[in-house]
Structure 1
Amino acid sequence: MHRILIVEDDERVSELIKRGLEEQGYEITLAYDGLTGKKLASQYDYDLVITDIILPKMDGLDLCKEINRVKSGIPIIMLTALGTTDDKVEGFDAGADDYLVKPFEMRELLARIRALLKRNARAASQPGNSLNYAGLEMNLRTRSVKRNGTEIDLTPKEFSLLKYMMQNPERVLPRAEIADKVWNTHFDTGTNFIDVYINYLRKKIDKDFNKKLIHTKTGMGFILKAE
């Protein structure tokens, strides 16, 4: 049975989510403020966390950062009424794995949960602790990245995006595929958060090196290739 922590200060909303998830066989713990959510996430093992952004005592962004600091690897879904590209980028920068805008349907939340749990189970079963390509080294256990021996500091979502590109080098990755595999969502052509994160990676991975690794294929997507 998968254990899920829900951090939501609106008791009506949290109870509705709790009831819907328990009907699907999930074990649910509720917290109504960010500090309580942080304490629970630190003390107990959860398979997934669902959190609102606007919370008493500690907001969902800071909560997300704290969870990633003490227990990196727990999937986090953010629930919010804010749905602009900047809002999504801020959530992903904090370490969220997915982002669901209120109001939402329970079946959509369930689909996001299943996708994240499946992805984590698949990642845990994969052998090897590192990925390497053209002088780029990624340690999956310590979540560290180096290029030609130089340490590169990435946010959790930048790490996930680069990881997927390193797992699929020299292959054009369409935006829709990146959205599905890295963000577990359908690509919304009205937002450009994937392009924003590609630019983040370029600044960190390519800026200080002569050989560029991250390239745009106009009208097609992006590719990791030494050229």
Structure 2
Amino acid sequence: MNEVSDILIVEDEPKIAELVSDYLKSAGYTATHIAHGDEVLPWLEHHAPKLVLLDVMLPGRDGLTLCREIRYRSPQIGIIMLTARVEEIDRLLGLEIGADDYICKPFSPREVLARCKALLRRMESSEEQGPEGAAKQGLVLDPQGWRALADGQDLGLTAIEFQLLSVMMQNPGRIYSREQLMEQMYRDHRIVSERTVDSHVKKLRKKIADAWPTREIIHSVYGVGYKYSPEPR
């Protein structure tokens, strides 16, 4: 049986890893540190963390590759990317391949702790949901568990994808510009590009299409943005 550990810190800078680990432990979490990318997957074969803090730049396997592999092997594990690279492509890729959130360096340990707590709360709420919600037909949002259910099937949305869908579903038929969607999705005023929104919409559409192959409920409005329409075209 796998040993349970709350948080795995994958970071090759010892001082950062030690600071984050001490802060998490002081808040009551158990934390383990790995500095080399090649050691992560073998460790996960014998341990079951609830969440992984994953640096993008690592010796051996890089963080983006590890994120993809962890998400494929263990979809229940929460993933927060840590990056000192501010280019949009890194932020975009981190969330495209299944990360739940990202934090840019330099960061304060308080911010890391707050992000970890928020993600763990969402994950715990999702686990506590009973079967009643899953029995509902149509597209149903579960705000407590941060889930979207299509005829009872969990779409497996990331936090950002859930927020995106939630915003559009509040006003069916309303056309949202990319800027309006960014304001609702990123309330911490982080810097993102319109391309990032397009990427999230693309991935959200794919997850909906996997559940409903014959329906299209999120539509592009050329030159303007996107809208949610509950009725198929």
Normalised TM-score (structure 1): 0.73
Aligned twin of 2:217:
213
Does the Cα contact within 8 Å between 1:42 and 1:70 map onto a contact in 2?
A: no
For 1:130 and 1:194, the matched residues in 2 are separated by 31
Aligned twin of 1:110:
113
Sort the Cα spacing of 1:177 and 1:73 in 2 relative to 1 into closer, same or farther, 3 A: farther
Does the Cα contact within 8 Å between 2:160 and 2:185 map onto a contact in 1?
A: no
Aligned twin of 1:133:
138
Does the Cα contact within 8 Å between 1:5 and 1:41 map onto a contact in 2?
A: no
For 1:171 and 1:219, the matched residues in 2 are separated by 18
Q: Which of 11, 25, 28 is equivalent to 1:25?
A: 28
| C-alpha deviation, 1:168, in angstroms | 8.1
| C-alpha deviation, 1:211, in angstroms | 6.0
| C-alpha deviation, 1:97, in angstroms | 0.7
- 1:16 and 2:19 equivalent? yes
Summarize the alignment of residues 1-227 of structure 1 with structure 2, pairs less than 5 Å apart.
3-128=6-131, 129=134, 132-133=137-138, 139-140=153-154, 157=158, 161=161, 165=165, 170-172=169-171, 175=181, 179=185, 186-188=188-190, 190-192=192-194, 193-202=196-205, 212-215=216-219, 222-226=227-231
Normalised TM-score (structure 2): 0.71
**How many pairs align?**
206
| C-alpha deviation, 1:75, in angstroms | 0.6
Sort the Cα spacing of 1:4 and 1:211 in 2 relative to 1 into closer, same or farther, 3 A: closer
Q: After superposition, give the CA deviation of every residue in 1:56-75 in whole Å (9 maximum; x if it has no partner).
A: 11111111112112211211
Q: After superposition, give the CA deviation of every residue in 1:72-112 in whole Å (9 maximum; x if it has no partner).
A: 12111110112233211100122111110100111111111
Tell me the SS of whatever aligns to 1:9.
Answer: coil
What is the CA RMSD across the aligned residues, in angstroms? 3.6
| C-alpha deviation, 1:161, in angstroms | 2.2
For 1:84 and 1:61, the matched residues in 2 are separated by 14
Sort the Cα spacing of 1:106 and 1:122 in 2 relative to 1 into closer, same or farther, 3 A: same
Sort the Cα spacing of 1:137 and 1:101 in 2 relative to 1 into closer, same or farther, 3 A: same
Does the Cα contact within 8 Å between 2:9 and 2:53 map onto a contact in 1?
A: yes
Which consecutive residues of structure 2, in runs of 5 or more, have no partner in the other structure? 140-149
Which consecutive residues of structure 1, in runs of 5 or more, have no partner in the other structure? 145-155
Ranges of 4+ aligned residues in structure 1 off by more than 6 Å: 216-221
For 1:176 and 1:126, the matched residues in 2 are separated by 29
Q: Percent identity?
A: 30
Does the Cα contact within 8 Å between 2:163 and 2:185 map onto a contact in 1?
A: no
